């Protein structure tokens, strides 16, 4: 599924601030345990293939949407691009970069606060994108 991103609003047919039930009518979603801090009281839902994740607040509304296969800005997919290419496409540099060591290497987390966007870079390429 190709998912076009609108900053602060949506990724494809999934809209930030809308009830998770509306998303469940669009795609099959499975509630999964979340590693997000319990203080936030977020619930996590994923598609069966794991390519899409919705984080949902205690109020049942979608708080963030993450994708690992399709995250279109205009007609171009951010997934698979280098960070510098993604920044050029977005027209802005990341506000903050954070390196996180994981078992099989390092992830770079790039935050674009003004766009409500976070990119996860693995092995030099955007592996996931989250809008909030």
**In the prediction, which pLDDT does 80 show?**
98
Write out the two tokens for 24: 């469940």
First CA to last CA distance, the chain: 20
> Using 50, 70 and 90 to split pLDDT, how confident is the model at 1?
confident
**Residue 64 near residue 131, CB atoms below 8 Å:** yes
**Residue 131 near residue 78, CB atoms below 8 Å:** no
**In the prediction, which pLDDT does 72 show?**
98
Can you name the residues that pair with 120 across neighbouring β-strands?
A: 109, 128
What strand order describes the sheet that includes 10-11?
Answer: 5-6, 10-11, 14-15
Has residue 60 got a pLDDT over 80?
A: yes
Size of the chain, expressed as the number of residues it contains: 132
Alpha-carbon gap, residue 95 to 38, rounded angstroms: 26
Q: What are the tens digits of pLDDT across the range 34-49? A: 665 556 688 999 999 9
Write out the two tokens for 130: 């989250």
């Amino acid at each position: 599924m190709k998912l076009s991103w609108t900053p602060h609003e949506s990724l494809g047919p999934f809209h930030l601030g809308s009830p998770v039930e509306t998303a469940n009518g669009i795609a099959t979603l499975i509630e999964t345990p979340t590693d997000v801090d319990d203080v936030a009281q977020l619930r996590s839902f994923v598609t069966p293939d794991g390519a899409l994740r919705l984080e949902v607040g205690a109020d049942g509304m979608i708080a963030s949407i993450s994708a690992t296969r399709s995250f279109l800005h205009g007609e171009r997919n951010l997934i698979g691009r280098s960070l510098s290419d993604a920044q050029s496409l977005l027209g802005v540099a990341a506000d903050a970069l954070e390196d996180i060591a994981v078992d099989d290497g390092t992830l770079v987390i790039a935050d674009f606060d003004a766009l409500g966007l976070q990119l996860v870079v693995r092995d030099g390429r955007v592996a996931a994108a989250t809008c909030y």
